[in-house]
Amino acid sequence: MKQYNVGDTFPNLLISTAYKEDRYVYDVLRGKTIFWVLRYIGCPVCRYDVAQIAANYNEFRAHNAQVFVVMQSDKTHIRETIGADELPFDIICDNDMRFYQTLMIHPAESMDALAGTRKDKLQKKGAAADENGFTHGDYEGDELQLPAMFIVDENRKISYVHYAKELADMPEIDEVLNLLL
């Protein structure tokens, strides 16, 4: 199978979250839906991303958008790490890797490839995660898993897709907001 492209129909995958009943992708598509595919909740940089998405969530809503973060974490790890359901968006618990496999989001070939060439960006984000108190938690899933992002419209069509080539190869919040204009 090939990776998805702009204009392709997003698959109707089952969404399992830590706090809500299971449902399908097509049941939740409203406005522009961002599937922000990260690694796992124990990853400090991923926790920082979750916090930044939450802090800026009103801006996403102002652009008629909603976010679902996809992680390899199971429901228990999400609940233990996040605590009460206080995020303004859902984290999809994809510990069986259905999203990653169906969407063809491949892991890096090695830890060096995961770290990649953008080490300054990765170190800066790691320092911000540390400053915000995000320490490394349990390892889950594939430690080499690369992130990705999909923006899907109400008609199930992908309007933006990005498969990261290394851990720091993801758009920043302001870049994602600009994509929604």
Query: What does the pLDDT look like over 91-107, one tens digit per residue?
Result: 999 999 999 999 999 99
pLDDT score recorded for residue 119: 81
Tally of CB atoms within 10 A around 50: 24
Q: pLDDT band at 118, cuts 50/70/90?
A: confident
Return the pLDDT at 40: 95
H helices of 24-162, in order, are: 25-28, 44-55, 57-62, 75-82, 98-102, 111-115, 119-131
Of all residues in the chain, the percent with pLDDT exceeding 70 is 100
Q: Is 101 helix (H, G, I), strand (E, B) or coil?
A: helix
For residue 45, what pLDDT is reported?
95
- In the predicted model, what is the mean pLDDT of residues 67-71? 98
User: Which pTM was predicted?
Assistant: 0.96
| Distance, CA of 84 to CA of 121 (rounded, Å) | 31
Question: What gap in Å lies between CA 172 and CA 61, rounded to an integer?
Answer: 17
What's 138's DSSP letter? -
In the chain the domains, ranked by start, together with CATH numbers, are 14-179 (3.40.30.10)
Q: In which band, very low, low, confident or very high, does the pLDDT at 158 lie, cut at 50, 70 and 90?
A: very high
Coil, helix or strand at residue 68: strand
The confidence band for 122, taking pLDDT boundaries of 50, 70 and 90, is: confident
Confidence of residue 153 (pLDDT cuts 50, 70, 90): very high
CA dihedral 117, 120, 126, 129 (to 10 degrees): -130
62: its two tokens: 């102002």
Nearest Cα residue to 147 out of 39, 15, 48: 39
| pLDDT score at 83 | 84
Residues 111/144, Cβ–Cβ less than 8 Å: yes
Tokens representing 160 are 């933006």
